[in-house]
Amino acid sequence: MKILKIAYRNLMHKPVRSILTIGGVSMAVAVVVCLIGFDAGYRQSLKQDIDKMGYQLLVTAKGCPYEAATMMLQGGGGLRYMPQEIYKKIITDPRVDVVTPQLVHSIFDPNDSEGRGSVTLFMGVDDSFRKLKPWVQFKNGGWFSSSDANEVIMGYEVAELEQRVAGDKIFITGVDKVFTVAGVFERTGTQDDGLTFMPLQTAQKIFSLENKLTGIGIKLKHIETITAFEEDLYNEPSIQVISMAQVKGTILNLVSSVRVMTTAIAAIAVFIAVIGVINTILMAVFERTKEIGVMKALGATKYQIFKIIWTETTIICLGGAVGGAILAFLCSSLVGFFLKTILPYSPSGNIVIISTLSLAATGAAVLIVGSIVGIYPAYKAASIRPIEAIRQGD
């Protein structure tokens, strides 16, 4: 306890320098913890997004498969169209459990409430949509009254933005019809929250896309038949089959480039923090050379001097670990927001998850590194000769 008090008092001789050094270690710890949290959070959020889609395979028209899948994940429009006959063929396959046809279409409204223009995404669906996503609940209202009704169901975010409830009337730009809001979905945390749904037949008719689809979601009865099922569909010249597991792997590969960059930043931050700790302790030893000489002249052993200087290093690293943990908790949301703006595809959930395990592991690593880097300045101080130190001080 006496050694601890002496070490703390010594650090407080230069409080600004000590605090800045602890701050540097804290920044390094926060970066490492957020990096670990990003890796875990992104994988978890991506898996949840794909699982919530309800299907294992996505059939689209020929084109870039990953661009198409990403657009579908995000609820995007502008996909190529394929004939509806493909859907009629797939639905007869005995290996299929549920199939849901989709028609995504976007409309630009130049006269929105803010005067800057906005894009509304519509998706035509049929009753199979509810079979694939039985967890989707209604905030108010219900399903379409018929397969060709002039009705829409709004996702949670769209309804909140436009302040709509079941029974309201809406006008779709470019379509000379008034539609009734049949219902509003509860929040799902997926791309569905930003979509406006309508019956598939109605969407095909009003957008002049009869017998056209942008995607077909497929859930098989037995997951082990997925490879053979894909192989059979490859013979169709106008379509491509995308496995959601494959999409997950590809997106994670794209994210790996970001992870390499953040890992490099974390390594640089840790290196700078370590250099800062060594510099602070060595400066403290140099400035207290006479004091150390006097202590040794009064009977302090090399081991006691070593212990004092080594304890100072440990206090700095411990303070940095605690400060870094607090900083990581406070800034995790901000880091997640920043990463979402630069990633090629960002899941809807929290992509930076700070866990107790990551905090404990990072804190332990910092203390171990601190213990190692503290050996040199502590040895340097313990090796000071009393008479030379006193003379140098004079």
Could you read off the pLDDT of 222-239 as tens digits, one per residue?
Answer: 877 877 888 888 777 778
Say how far apart CA 332 and CA 141 lie, in whole Å: 37
- Claim to verify: residue 199 and residue 290 sit in the same structural domain: no
Candidate ranges 6-15, 54-63, 131-140; pick with highest mean pLDDT: 131-140
Choose from 117-131, 156-170, 366-380 the range with maximum mean pLDDT.
156-170
pLDDT digits (tens, 9 = 90+) for 95-115: 988 888 999 888 876 665 555
User: Sign of dihedral through CA atoms 270, 273, 279, 284?
Assistant: negative
Average pLDDT of 345-350?
A: 70
The answer as to whether 340 is a domain residue is: yes
Asked whether residue 245 is assigned to any structural domain, the reply reads: no
Q: How confident is the model at residue 17 (pLDDT cuts 50, 70, 90)?
A: confident
In a domain, 72, yes or no: yes
Let me know whether 201 and 76 are in one domain.
yes
6 domain residue, yes or no: yes
Overall domain count for the chain? 2
- Residue 55 inside a domain? The answer is no
Looking at the structure, tell me whether residues 114 and 11 fall in a common domain: no
Distance between CA atoms of 321 and 28, rounded to whole angstroms? 9
- Assigned domain for 44 exists: yes
| Residue-level pLDDT at 217 | 86
Whole-number Å distance between alpha carbons of 135 and 106? 26
177, 210, 237 - which closes a domain: 237
Same domain for 164 and 288? no
DSSP tag of 74: T
Q: Which domain holds residue 357?
A: 2-48+253-393
Do 227 and 271 have their domain in common? no
Residue 243 covered by a domain: no
State residue 146's pLDDT score. 93
Q: Show which of 213, 237, 261 is a domain's final residue.
A: 237
Whether residue 92 sits in one domain with residue 25: no
Looking at the fold, whether 23 and 84 belong to one and the same domain comes out as no
Instruction: Report pLDDT digits (tens) over 226-278.
Output: 778 888 887 777 788 877 767 666 666 766 776 777 778 777 878 888 888 88
Residue pair 73/152 in contact (Cβ under 8 Å)? The answer is no
Q: Quick one: tokens of 374? A: 């503290």
Angle between helices 244-287 and 289-297 (to 10 degrees): 70
